[in-house]
Homo-oligomer: A and B are copies of this chain.
Amino acid sequence: MTKNTFDRIYETLKDRILKGAYSIKMRLPIEDDLIKEFDTSRYAVRKAIKQLADEGLVYSVKGRGVVLLEHTPQTQQFNLSLGQLSGIKAMNADRQLDYRTDVVSFKQVIVDADLSERTAFEIGIPVYAIQRVRLFNGHRNVIDINYFNAQLVPGITADIARQSIYHYIQDDLHVKIAVVKRMLRVDSVRKTDLKYLELGDNNCVGNMISIAFNDTGRQFEYTESHFIPNEFVFTQLIRN
């Protein structure tokens, strides 16, 4: 349940925006009116508006008010889907997906100079090196190449990798996944991609490189997710 004041305001306003309640004048009510309506302080109202702005629904202009950004069915897909931590969003997220994971490689290795250069893990520490093929509706669309710091997230097994490593990390190890940083690239295919992915005629892959941090600030994961063209999208919001 959402119990915070600003959450309640945020949800109410978001609902109204998506329903088109404010669309005619393209403005949100001014802060003072929202304060009166929700019988609260400016803090909660402003925090709720901030959240709407973070999501790309509104934009605040000093001296004028809070403007709604135009949205159409097409441009809805540009809106950020918050909270999807673990990964990739299929292009048609609405259609039903049959999903399976094959663990094609599971090793525990010691970080050497090369691997350290790539993953930013310290030389000499033990890591789990895992390769998993992700099948969507039976198609080999993604290969995940994971390296997990075995000191920070110990006890991973091939069986856990077949299920969900993030589930294990959070629920069993009680390690909080605080921040994930990502880089996105387009790479020419390499041997592993050709071996495991259904690329068709394509000779490139998308490469999403993620590094994840726990709530003590330590990086416990380095992952490359190679995915086939034409199937996946990533969204981003830039504000002035």
A: which residues have CB within 8 A of B? 26, 56, 58-59, 61, 67-70, 72, 74-75, 77-79, 85, 91, 117-118, 120, 176-188, 201-206, 211, 213, 215-219, 227-230, 232-240
Contacts and interface: CB of A to CB of B under 8 A. Distances in A.
Given A179-B237, A179-B238, A234-B236, 13 more contacts: A59-B179, A59-B217, A67-B215, A67-B217, A74-B118, A75-B120, A75-B219, A179-B240, A183-B234, A183-B236, A186-B205, A187-B230, A234-B234
Contacts of A204: 186, 202-204, 229
Contacts of A59: 178-179, 213, 215, 217
Contact of A206 (B74, B186, B230): B186
A63 to B, nearest CB: 11
Given A185-B230, A186-B205, A240-B177, A69 B120 contact: no
A184 B234 contact: yes
Nearest to A237: B181
A26 B217 contact: yes
A145 B218 CA distance: 42
A184 B183 contact: no
A186 B70 contact: no
B235 A188 contact: no
A236 B26 contact: no
Given A75-B120, A204-B202, A240-B179, A186 B217 contact: no
A69 B230 CA distance: 34
Given A204-B203, A204-B229, A213-B59, A240 B183 contact: no
Copies in the complex: 2
Contacts of A183: 77-78, 233-236
Nearest to A205: B186
B75 A181 contact: yes
A49 to B, nearest CB: 14
A236 to B, nearest CB: 4
Identify the interface centre among A72, A211, A216, A217: most chain B CB within 10 Å of its CB.
A217
B72 A120 contact: yes
Contacts of A68: 217
